[in-house]
Amino acid sequence: MGHYTGNPDAIRALHRGYEVHRDVYIDPEIYRLEMRHLFANAWVFVGHESQTPNKGDYFATQVGDQPVIQVRHSDGEVHVLYNRCPHKGTKIVIDRSGNTGKFFRCPYHAWSFKTDGCLLAIPLKKGYENTGFENSDSGKGMRAVGAVRNYRGFIFCRLAEEGISFEEFFGGSLSSIDNMVDRSPAGRLEVAGPPLRYLHHCNWKMLVENQTDTCHPMVAHESSAGTAVKLWEELDMPEGTPLPPAMEIIAPFTSPYEFFEKMGIRTWPNGHGHTGVHHSIHSNYSEIPGYMDKMVASYGEEKAKAILGENRHNTVYFPNIMIKGPIQQLRVFIPLAADRTIVESYIYRLVDGPDELTARTAMYNRMINAPTSIVGHDDLEMYERAQEGLHADGLEWVNIQRLYEEGEDFTEEAVENGTTERQMRNQFDAWVRFMTMDMDGVREAAE
């Protein structure tokens, strides 16, 4: 047993106000404990209901390091099951997605299960008669996760059988999902193809923190976005020439510090928060003809203007996703090891919305989040430099002190200067709580 296992006090000591210890990024033991405790106790994104629209449709993914299956049952409900046969542990599905029909069938011994996980049939079942099999865990079928919630099409789960409720965990932060979905005249989203996938050789929390780090764009992205802006300016286009879509997307990355300061950051309890309270890099995109008319027809003029007037930049949902409401994008940061993370970047289509909006978000995803992105590589280099640099013994602590106030309270919603690092501190406050909330009992059992 390592130093941190079963030791909640040691975990709490890793975050002290405006500092976090380097072990939260580089220690394999911390990573294993995150998988065991943090990702079990928090509500974690699984997928979108449109990925499994028909009965029998499934989507295989992972929550923390746990392989799970999102599946549409015969009653139309979405279930989340562990991707494991209760017999010998064989993975039930290895394809990313598909349709299993009315039941799952294990490829090893042909045990079969209904799409809600219940055991359906076993070959030579008489061999289990009078063995007590029906009372065993295996006899109950594929195990479901502790709790599942479909919120406006987005599927979340809690692995733990007991714990914080969905409503208490997310609270007011759900307003960002609401705004993204409400941008559809029909009030619905559909996933637009598979995600872009991008491997990062760094700790997953670095990517989450960076989503609300507003002091890096004008520095880290000078070589990419800055160069693009310079080349556009050298064209010496006539005054009033509209920016092409690609420039509308990339140019705001070079905005000055003042732009981001005035943008504002909102934080909510349990590690959630967003940049872009007053404006964002998405505020000045060109209007799509006919879109506002459709929105007014669906919601009325006042509500339509309120929905589209929100231009939140990045909303972080602790522990590991970020959404962009104005361009209907979601990024999930899937931890693979203490120093490896796979990033999946999804885009969504606004049902009954103009196709031009889907084209814009697809362009943004390719330009900013793809493995071939010139902007994404700026961030990746910084992450990998940090992952290597944290092993240096000059200092053991990472500073997140910008606009820090002694005795900060993360139990209430707050809006502050857009360059504060409060959201990072908010995330680590939640990290400590969800890492340790079930550790005291574990420690007592170990002793």
Distance CA 82, CA 84 (A): 6
Q: Is the predicted pLDDT of residue 443 greater than 70, yes or no? A: no
Distance CA 29, CA 26 (A): 9
More confident residue, 237 or 213: 213
Distance CA 345, CA 196 (A): 5
- Closest to 274 measured CA to CA, from 410, 400, 175, 164: 175
pLDDT band at 445 (very low <50, low <70, confident <90, very high): very low
More confident residue, 244 or 338: 338
Domains 44-151 and 173-434 share a fold: no
Tens digits of per-residue pLDDT, 342-397? Answer: 999 999 999 999 999 999 999 999 999 999 998 988 999 999 999 999 999 989 99
**pLDDT of res. 398:** 98
Distance CA 213, CA 275 (A): 9
**pLDDT of res. 444:** 34
**pLDDT of res. 240:** 83
Q: Domain 173-434: what homologous superfamily? A: Naphthalene 1,2-dioxygenase Alpha Subunit; Chain A, domain 1 (3.90.380.10)
| Mean of all residue pLDDT scores within the chain | 95
SS3 399: strand
pLDDT band at 441 (very low <50, low <70, confident <90, very high): low
Q: What is the dihedral of CA 429, 430, 434, 435, to 10 degrees?
A: -40
DSSP 8-state assignment for residue 144: B
- Give mean pLDDT, residues 49-75: 98
Residue 278 to residues 106, 211, 315, 425: CA-CA distances in angstroms? 52, 17, 14, 22
Q: Is the predicted pLDDT of residue 446 greater than 60, yes or no? A: no
Distance CA 253, CA 251 (A): 5
Q: Which CATH number fits domain 44-151: 2.102.10.10, 2.60.40.10, 3.40.640.10, 1.10.10.10?
A: 2.102.10.10
Q: Which residues pair with 273 in a beta bridge?
A: 267, 316
DSSP string, 239-269: TTPPPPHHHHHHGGGG--HHHHHHH-EEEEG
CB-based contact 186:297 (threshold 8 Å): no
Residue 109 CB contacts under 8 Å (≥ 6 apart), including other chains: 85, 87, 88, 122, 123
Distance CA 266, CA 91 (A): 41
Tens digits of per-residue pLDDT, 422-440? Answer: 999 999 999 999 999 998 7
Tens digits of per-residue pLDDT, 136-193? Answer: 999 999 999 999 999 999 999 999 999 999 999 999 999 999 999 999 999 999 999 9
- Give mean pLDDT, residues 413-423: 97
Residue 236 to residues 225, 232, 250: CA-CA distances in angstroms? 18, 8, 18
CB-based contact 166:147 (threshold 8 Å): yes
- Give mean pLDDT, residues 269-293: 96
CB-based contact 227:253 (threshold 8 Å): no
| Domain limits, the chain | 44-151, 173-434
pLDDT band at 303 (very low <50, low <70, confident <90, very high): very high
Q: Compute φ and ψ for 104, nearest 5 degrees.
A: -95, 145
Supply 226's token pair.
């800055």
Pairing between strand 78-82 and 112-114?
unpaired
